[in-house]
């Protein structure tokens, strides 16, 4: 059984695949915050900007099997099928639910399957793309992947240590919120001083899309 907050079709707004059309499948629940505003400041991750609780969003629901989930995702891709089908499994923390069987079912529908995870859980081995966004204070058990995306600044994260891990691409992304302008300046300065990192911006927010 899979609990999904929402599904929608949009452009990937950040990281390596910025600008790529994708179906977003946002799984319910997270292991670093319960999603309740009253508990935010006691959570491990205090800066999440996403509603991931419940199944009430567009395309959300409870799906009994991997095939049911894959069918629901496939319904959001433009018909007739054109281009490379791409799904981003996100959350919350998608690896609390995403299974090898679900990935296989999505791939059976022709999808390139990506996950965005906080790195505290080991992913299914058959994913096509793994993006890790570590959080200060969380035990990161996943130490390699396709993409490392650090929300910046975060006190307590050792970026020198993270840069040595086996990731094909490394990104610094300014933390959103009241200090976004300052965080963007700090992120730019960091990337200039540390050219093994690249800058990622949340372009979907600038464009006014999801």
Cβ(71)–Cβ(8) below 8 Å: no
Per the annotation, the verdict on 116 as an active-site residue is yes
The tokens of 153 are what?
Answer: 């600044």
Among the options 39, 49, 158, 189, which is catalytic? 49
Per the annotation, the verdict on 48 as an active-site residue is yes
In the three-class reduction of DSSP (H, G, I as helix; E, B as strand; rest coil), residue 184 is classed as: helix
Among the options 50, 55, 184, 203, which is catalytic? 50
Per the annotation, the verdict on 45 as an active-site residue is yes
Helix axes 66-74, 100-108, angle to 10 degrees: 40
Per the annotation, the verdict on 49 as an active-site residue is yes
Among the options 20, 190, 203, 204, which is catalytic? 204
Per the annotation, the verdict on 204 as an active-site residue is yes
Distant-in-sequence, close-in-space partners of 89: CB < 8 Å, separation ≥ 6: 25, 27, 98, 113, 114, 115, 116
Task: Give dist(CA 28, CA 22) in Å, integer.
Answer: 19
Among the options 48, 89, 131, 191, which is catalytic? 48
Among the options 25, 45, 89, 191, which is catalytic? 45
Per the annotation, the verdict on 89 as an active-site residue is no
Among the options 6, 116, 146, 147, which is catalytic? 116
Per the annotation, the verdict on 191 as an active-site residue is no
Among the options 17, 27, 30, 52, which is catalytic? 30
Among the options 6, 17, 24, 93, which is catalytic? 24
- CA quadruple 125, 100, 60, 81: dihedral positive or negative? positive
Instruction: Please list the active-site residues.
Output: 24, 30, 45, 48-50, 116, 204
């Amino acid at each position: 059984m899979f609990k999904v907050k929402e599904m929608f079709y949009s452009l990937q707004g950040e990281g390596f695949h910025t600008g790529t059309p994708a179906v977003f499948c946002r799984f319910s629940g997270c292991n670093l915050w319960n999603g309740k505003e009253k508990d935010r400041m006691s959570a491990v991750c205090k800066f999440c900007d996403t509603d991931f609780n419940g199944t009430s969003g567009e395309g959300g629901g409870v799906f009994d099997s991997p095939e049911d989930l894959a069918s629901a995702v496939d319904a959001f891709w433009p018909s007739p099928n054109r281009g490379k089908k791409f799904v981003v499994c996100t959350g919350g923390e998608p690896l609390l639910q995403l299974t090898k069987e679900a990935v296989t079912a999505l791939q059976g529908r022709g999808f390139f399957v990506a996950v965005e995870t906080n790195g505290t859980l080991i992913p299914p081995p058959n994913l096509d793309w793994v993006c890790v966004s570590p959080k200060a204070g969380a035990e990161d058990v996943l130490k390699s992947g396709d993409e490392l995306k650090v929300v910046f600044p975060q006190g307590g994260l050792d970026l020198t240590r993270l840069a040595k891990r086996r990731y094909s691409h490394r990104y610094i992304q300014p933390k959103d919120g009241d200090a976004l302008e300052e965080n963007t300046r700090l992120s730019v300065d960091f990337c200039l001083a540390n050219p093994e990192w690249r800058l990622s911006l949340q372009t979907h927010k600038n464009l006014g899309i999801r």
